[in-house]
Amino acid sequence: MSWSARVRDAFSGEEGQKRHSSAALLAIYNGFLARRAQLLLHADKAPAESSAAALRALADALGSTAGWLRQALDARAVTVRPGVPPSEAATGMSHWARIVADLEAQQAARDEILLCAARFADSDPEAGALLDVLLEHVEDHCGALRSEIARADPQALD
């Protein structure tokens, strides 16, 4: 095999596509961990125990999804390294503003998963199936955050 053929296959062949999709899945996994940690920080600052409990339950759901994704990454022989820890929640933000920021982060994750699903659906069907399941989980998480926003400010979602 020629040098140019090896380079082409590394970036456009089946192995190259699997490597790209694995890297995308790893980034999504690290995003789940970061959002989970951020939710736990926000739960600690919640004004009411019911809000804190709801945020902790959502953080647990994110952790479960991340655990499931970690198993899929292990099956694909992807090396998982610790991600960047979340920054401390911004001071001066209200509880409502923090959970809106959490929702926006979840929506950004959903958009990224949609892009990856479209990108890898044909070239790596296994990754496409994983991304479809992840998309369902993220939609559920967004719904939980919308409910929490509605409890914090009933007029916020009008």
Tell me: pLDDT of 10 over 70. Answer: no
Query: Which DSSP letter does residue 90 get?
Result: P
What's the pLDDT band for 8 if we cut at 50, 70, 90?
very low
Is the pLDDT at 6 greater than 80? The verdict is no
pLDDT tens per residue, range 88-145? 655 568 888 999 999 999 999 999 999 999 988 888 888 889 999 999 999 999 999 9
Q: Contact 69/25 with Cβ under 8 angstroms? A: yes
Q: What is the pLDDT of residue 106?
A: 96
The confidence score (pLDDT) of residue 156 equals: 58
The per-residue pLDDT for 111 is 96
Confidence bin at 151 (pLDDT 50/70/90) = confident
Of 88, 80, 86, 40, nearest to 62 by C-alpha is: 40
Residue with token string 């926006």: 104
Inter-helix orientation angle 95-120/14-44, to 10°? 170
Of the listed ranges 9-13, 78-82, 85-89, 151-155, the one predicted with least confidence = 9-13
What is the pLDDT of the chain when averaged over all its residues?
85
pLDDT at 89: 54
Structural domains of the chain sorted by starting position, each given as residue range(s) with its CATH number in brackets:
17-78+89-152 (1.20.1260.10)
Between the CA atoms of 35, 40, 45 and 50, what dihedral angle is there, to the nearest 10 degrees? 110
